[in-house]
Chain A
């Protein structure tokens, strides 16, 4: 059933420390998985192999190998500066914007080599949407924000575009709140609404993968819950990779979890397993909040 783990054997060691009290998050994760029902095995969407990344001389990722499953939510957890965001930004090559960024190893999306220097990154980013940590709506109307991407890529009639905007906003669970004021400035929305608008904007282009870089960290708890609900709904259609600092969030929304520490992928697997039976000491320490 799980096929995504491919760890380095040298890092694996039996857990020898005394049994810890049961992690409360494990029950959350178990409940979340139970609510999702039985899962069929899916294909691999993104495959990292022996992947290392640098910013200048600073090595941000060390020899990471992982496979990310299609139509699953994969959470990336780990302390600050452990390479999660770097990892994410390589998937849609946003790191190209940072002159000093470079990487080695192999990375492919459905068999397409993403490390190819000749890869059309514009087309790649159309297929791999991204939602940023801070909501970044464009200073345009709500409608124009969602229509921005489709207008770049597709020739559509205005009725087609209307339809697409509505569909995207519905998927982002924002339609009912904004349908009467599509012409208003997106900057007038609340933070949570702005972030859902950014998700709608990303969806409207028709991506296969959605990357989310701590999408709820700048939001209040209520908006966070709405975003999490949304992520759970979207997992049917998209492969979602989400970076989060919030253990509970990882437990609630993700099918798979990968734990990064100091640029290394320490452990990855089903979320339930990660929170109940972590194989590594660092993982256990982190998910139980002993460091971080």
Chain B
């Protein structure tokens, strides 16, 4: 009897030992995986990692390909994303944590709202991309045709001796003269001295009325007199190429984008904004907003209630309590959460892929209305090339991306440690 029992205990010990070893093995395997992953990528990517990689733009040749446009695109997009997500996220977290409702109805709304935030965190990022494309880039298609990438920059000029304003493409601008091209009438020359007003519009589509009364609407492909080529809209969303005789066009007008601010200023805004830095940044803000909210809530929750009560008992108002007591204590937590959100934003590709597609860009963004690409998208593009050499370029891009991420993680860790020290 006793012998049997002793045996059973030994067996159980053995099971315990093997189970523990198994778990350790699996855990180490996970960590080894990280090493293999980074190792494999480093081996592949080492070749192209040099200064030229940071200063060069995309190229058809692997050796010349660089990351500059994507690097700056990432910077622009992430700055916009954080500028929106952090204030809105922290404010929402404060609303959820510090303004707990008292009445039953509002408590119900509050509960629903909490559920909403946790569900937002589970929405696949590509769905956010679709929302960003529909809401930000296209503005629900309310402001014109859905073709995003094409628009024409035209000058609208009023001048002495011209009864109607001229809308035309700018061909050449000299010190005393402007040479313009009207899509139908052809070239126009105007003396600078005669100009009374001048501004720029962005034409999204043209509507030509012909002499038989019919109209053709669509995007202008070219207008080499005497024929005008138009990609005419069809009801199913496709385009037919139509060639019009310029002589038969009775009148034409354009549908313009709304536009605010000087076109060269960083804050220049056009609506619908299309696949621009601003649309990308706002879309990413949607993706990381739940992360910021959840992290900020945790940080606020960690502030001991005794601090709030102490401040309130001294007659502080609710906002005074929050701004002087609660927020300063929660800042390290909020910062850590925001950095994690930022590292998510910088590695996120799917939503931006939907918003902007993979585009070949040879410049860095200049203002909010610039086209852009970001590092993960560029990496995706390189990785999906058939040419094996480009896979190595992709690996180089990944190395840079991982370097940036590790930098962020270290920053988050330092902040966390400093905050802990302060508390002690």
Contact = CB atoms under 8 A, between A and B. Distances in A.
Direct touching of A and B (C-beta under 8 Å): yes
A201 interface: yes
B325 interface: yes
A20 interface: no
Contacts of A126: 314-315
Interface string A121-143: 01111110110101011110000
Given A99-B102, A139-B329, A139-B423, A129 B324 contact: no
A148 interface: yes
Interface in A104-136: 122-127, 129-130, 132, 134, 136
B325 to A, nearest CB: 6
Nearest to A92: B313
B327 to A, nearest CB: 12
Contacts of A149: 314-316
B107 interface: yes
Interface in A214-258: none
A66 to B, nearest CB: 22
A43 interface: no
B174 interface: no
Interface in B399-424: 422-423
Interface in B309-352: 309-317, 320, 324-325, 329
Contacts of A205: 314-315
A153 interface: yes
Contacts, number: 66
A139 B422 CA distance: 9
Nearest to B422: A139
Nearest to A135: B306
Majority secondary structure, B binding face:
helix
A94 interface: yes
B315 A198 contact: no
Contacts of A125: 312-315
Contacts of A202: 313-314
A122 B107 contact: no
A132 B306 contact: yes
B102 A129 contact: no
Interface residues of A, number: 26
B313 A123 contact: no
A152 interface: yes
B162 interface: no
A97 interface: yes
Interface string A71-95: 0000000000000000000001010
Contacts of A153: 315
Interface string B68-108: 00000000000000000000000000000000111000010
Contacts of B306: 132, 134, 136
In this complex, which of B310, B311, B423 has the most chain A Cβ atoms within 10 angstroms of its Cβ?
B310
B310 A132 contact: yes
A129 B313 contact: yes
Contacts of B32: none
Interface string A144-170: 000011001100000000000000000
Contact of B313 (A94, A99, A139): A94
A94 B312 contact: yes
Contacts of B317: 122, 152
B33 interface: no
B100 A99 contact: yes
B34 interface: no
Contacts of B307: 136, 138-139
A224 B81 CA distance: 54
A152 B313 CA distance: 12
Interface string A182-226: 000000000000000010011001000000000000000000000
Nearest to A148: B314
A148 B311 contact: yes
A124 B310 CA distance: 14
Contacts of B316: 122, 148-149, 152
A148 B324 CA distance: 9
A152 B320 contact: yes
Interface string B280-308: 00000000000000000000000010111
Contacts of A132: 306, 309-310, 313
A164 to B, nearest CB: 13
Given A99-B100, A99-B102, A148-B324, A136 B309 contact: yes
A98 to B, nearest CB: 9
22 contacts: A97-B308, A99-B101, A122-B315, A122-B317, A125-B314, A125-B315, A129-B314, A132-B309, A136-B307, A136-B310, A138-B325, A139-B307, A139-B329, A139-B422, A148-B324, A149-B314, A149-B315, A149-B316, A152-B316, A152-B324, A201-B314, A202-B313
Give me the 10 closest cross-chain CB pairs, A-B, nearest first.
A126-B315, A136-B306, A149-B314, A130-B313, A125-B315, A136-B310, A99-B102, A122-B315, A152-B316, A122-B317
Interface of A: 92, 94, 97, 99, 122-127, 129-130, 132, 134, 136-139, 148-149, 152-153, 198, 201-202, 205
Given A97-B308, A129-B314, A139-B307, 8 more contacts: A92-B313, A94-B312, A97-B312, A122-B316, A125-B314, A132-B309, A148-B316, A202-B313
